[in-house]
Chain A
Amino acid sequence: GAVVSQHPSRVICKSGTSVKIECRSLDFQATTMFWYRQFPKKSLMLMATSNEGSKATYEQGVEKDKFLINHASLTLSTLTVTSAHPEDSSFYICSAGTSGYNEQFFGPGTRLTVL
């Protein structure tokens, strides 16, 4: 089946630093990747949708300058949290899909803790 990986699985950083999270589709080409954020014991909130080779579309309320998304190839999307603050601590999950509405394949998530 389709596999999506995320790296790192956990990251702890100091306030003010930037953190990059990678999302890879290992055995298929993902035309679209999605980034979600999940707060403790809460649901997933869509942050942005990225299509390969074009700019990401951010959801209302998500700061595009703070959460930089790059989707340079059909198998890799990156989320960079710039100048991270403790309130950015969260579980970040990516998903990848091909065409149609059949299914999104989710990565295992990245736990970000900002001290």
Chain B
Amino acid sequence: AQSVTQLDSQVPVFEEAPVELRCNYSSSVSVYLFWYVQYPNQGLQLLLKYLSGSTLVKGINGFEAEFNKSQTSFHLRKPSVHISDTAEYFCAVTYTGRRALTFGSGTRLQVQP
């Protein structure tokens, strides 16, 4: 069975500082990886995805993530955050033959002025 671990439940950071949100997964097969953002009382918006190819994936709003197969990680990064980036971020995984997503527990990014 596959699982996703987001070790940090909350990440406080000052505006314009860099940030990294960690995501590790466990799976015995090839995976597809996603990062979603959720603003309060809203659904999920896709930030970026890794399906195949280049391990460095660039997404919307200046975010990027790197797929590291040896470390089974897919950490999300942004070089300079804004107040508007304050939200809940979810890492998710699926694999060939299963289209439903397995989500991590989420990381609350709190950007402070």
- In the complex, chain B residues 14-36 whose Cβ is within 8 Å of any chain A Cβ: 32, 34, 36
**Docked-complex contact A103 and B49, CB < 8 angstroms:** yes
By secondary structure, the B interface counts as strand
**Docked-complex contact A108 and B100, CB < 8 angstroms:** no
**Docked-complex contact A108 and B42, CB < 8 angstroms:** yes
**Docked-complex contact B44 and A106, CB < 8 angstroms:** yes
Assembled-state Cα–Cα distance A43/B105 (Å) = 5
**Docked-complex contact B99 and A101, CB < 8 angstroms:** yes
**Docked-complex contact A101 and B106, CB < 8 angstroms:** no
Does B101 count as interface, using CB distance less than 8 angstroms? yes
Which of B36, B90, B100, B104 has a CB less than 8 Å from the CB of A49? B100
Interface size class of chain B, counting residues whose CB lies under 8 Å from the partner chain: 20 to 34
Does B112 count as interface, using CB distance less than 8 angstroms? no
CB distance from A8 to the nearest CB of B (A): 13
Does B51 count as interface, using CB distance less than 8 angstroms? yes
CB contacts (< 8 Å) of B99 on chain A: these are 32, 34, 49, 97, 101, 104
Interface size class of chain A, counting residues whose CB lies under 8 Å from the partner chain: 20 to 34
Assembled-state Cα–Cα distance A45/B4 (Å) = 12
**Docked-complex contact B101 and A46, CB < 8 angstroms:** yes
Assembled-state Cα–Cα distance A102/B101 (Å) = 12
**Docked-complex contact B44 and A93, CB < 8 angstroms:** yes
**Docked-complex contact A111 and B41, CB < 8 angstroms:** yes
- In the complex, chain A residues 3-56 whose Cβ is within 8 Å of any chain B Cβ: 4, 6, 32, 34, 41-46, 49
CB contacts (< 8 Å) of B51 on chain A: these are 101-102
**Docked-complex contact B105 and A42, CB < 8 angstroms:** yes
CB contacts (< 8 Å) of B96 on chain A: these are 101
Known: A34-B100, A108-B42. 12 other contacts (CB 8 A): A4-B43, A43-B105, A45-B103, A46-B100, A93-B43, A95-B44, A95-B101, A101-B32, A101-B94, A101-B96, A103-B34, A106-B43
Q: Which 6 pairs between the two chains have the least Cβ-Cβ distance?
A: A106-B43, A106-B44, A108-B43, A43-B103, A43-B105, A44-B103
List residues of chain B with CB under 8 Å of any chain A CB: 32, 34, 36, 41-46, 49, 51, 90, 94, 96, 99-106
